[in-house]
Amino acid sequence: MIALSYLAMFGLGMFAHQSLCEVPQVETRLGVLAIHSKPEGAAVWINGHALEGDEPGSAAQTPIPAVTNLQYGIDYTVRIEKAGHRPWTQTVRMSAEIDGRRIEAELEPE
């Protein structure tokens, strides 16, 4: 009881409460990439996850005009594959320089 009275009297209880509740909000910045390949119709993976197509259960194929929700400061490994061609891989870090850019993969025949 004495400790509570001391805290209340000097306002330390309110200060401690404010510092715990007023956590600054950090805005997460998200970017976009367009992914194209020559030849078109290649499957795309980002960080090992296949991009889904428009139909449930289908894989997205190039050209893909917008891959969204890519967080700034994060590395993304883009892998593009098409039957009869060598896989193409590139790692990009999402940033202001990369945001909105187009990745163009030249797939070589096997």
Domains defined along the chain, listed by start: 30-106 (2.60.40)
What are the phi and psi torsion angles at 21 (to 5°)?
A: -90, -25
Q: What pTM, to 2 d.p., does this model score? A: 0.72
Q: What pLDDT, on the 0 to 100 scale, is given for residue 4? A: 44
Spatial contact of 8 and 1, defined as CB atoms under 8 Å apart: no
Spatial contact of 62 and 42, defined as CB atoms under 8 Å apart: yes
Spatial contact of 74 and 91, defined as CB atoms under 8 Å apart: no
Q: What pLDDT, on the 0 to 100 scale, is given for residue 106? A: 97
Please give the chain's pLDDT, 110 residues, in tens: 444 444 444 444 444 444 455 656 666 899 999 999 999 999 999 999 999 888 888 889 999 999 999 999 999 999 999 999 999 999 999 999 999 999 999 999 99
